[in-house]
């Protein structure tokens, strides 16, 4: 599964790890991350991410 990079702060969303603190379980592909999910580091939306 592809990783995605936050253009604003450099945080990398890794599907293997997910973002359990914010309700995204490990193993969740980028496409399945909820639309209202925000970067856990800087708070921008999914549209500010690009494929790593």
In the complex, the residues that contact other proteins under the rule CB under 8 A are: 8-11, 40-43
The answer to whether 50 and 7 are in contact (CB under 8 A) is yes
Instruction: Specify the residue, 29 or 42, whose C-beta has the smaller distance to other proteins.
Output: 42
Give the nearer residue to other proteins in terms of CB position, either 31 or 38: 38
| Distance from C-alpha of 44 to C-alpha of 26, rounded to nearest angstrom | 20
Rounded Cα gap, residues 31 and 9, in angstroms: 20
CB of 48 to other proteins, least distance (A): 11
In the complex with other proteins, the residue whose CB is nearer, 10 or 45, is: 10
């Amino acid at each position: 599964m592809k990783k995605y990079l936050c253009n604003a702060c450099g945080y990398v969303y890794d599907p293997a790890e997910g973002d359990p603190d914010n309700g995204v379980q490990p193993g969740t592909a980028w496409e399945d991350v909820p639309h209202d999910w925000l970067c856990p580091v800087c708070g921008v939306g999914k549209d500010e991410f690009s494929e790593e």
